[in-house]
Structure 1
Amino acid sequence: MDIKKVAKLSRLNLCDEELKALETDFELILNYFGQIAEVETNEVEPLRTPVEINLSLRPDLAEDWENKSQALEGAPEAQFNQYKVPPVV
C-alpha cells in the first residue's frame, strides 16, 4: 500500500516516522480484515440485533375519550376541537 499517496489524498502532512507507523497500523488492520473474511458464515443466520428483545406491546386500539376539553386546556391554540399547530413545509 502506498502510504504516501493515502496521506496526500487525506491531506495529511506526515514525517517519515509517522508514515512508517501508519504503514504498520494499516498492515495490521488489513490483516484483521483478512481474518474476518476467512470466517465461515454460510450456516449463520443474519441478525437484526445481537440480543433478542421480546417486547410485550398492547394492542393499538382507538378509544373514545369523554373529557376532550380537558386535553385541549393545555393547548396553546385549538380549533374544531383539535390542537392547532403552525404549518410545516
Structure 2
Amino acid sequence: MKPVPKEAMQILIHQIRRVIPFNAPESSLCTGPCQGCSKKLIEYLDSEICFWQLQLNNDIVPKLGDINKLARTAKKIKKVLTINGFIN
C-alpha cells in the first residue's frame, strides 16, 4: 500500500537528511574547483526541507508534484555533490 502524500513527504525528507551531510564543516565544502557550489546547493536543499517540514507541521498536505519536485531536486544536488567528491 502506498503512503499518503504527507507520510511520503516525511519519508522523503528523512531519506534526504540521511544521505546529504547538512552539518558538514564549511571548510570541507569548498576544497577547489567544483561543478556547482556545494555549500549553496546544500543551503538551498536545507531551506526547501525546512519549508516542507513547516508545512507538514501546520497540517498542509503536499501534492504529489511537490513530492516529485523535492525528490528531483535532491537527486540532482546529490549528483553534483558526488561529482565534486563531497559524498560517495
Asked if these proteins are the same fold (TM beyond 0.5), I'd say: no
Q: TM-score, normalised by structure 2?
A: 0.31
Of structures 1 and 2, the larger Rg is shown by 1
Q: More strand per residue: 1 or 2? A: 1
Q: More helix per residue: 1 or 2? A: 2
Higher relative contact order (CA 8 A, sep 6+): 2
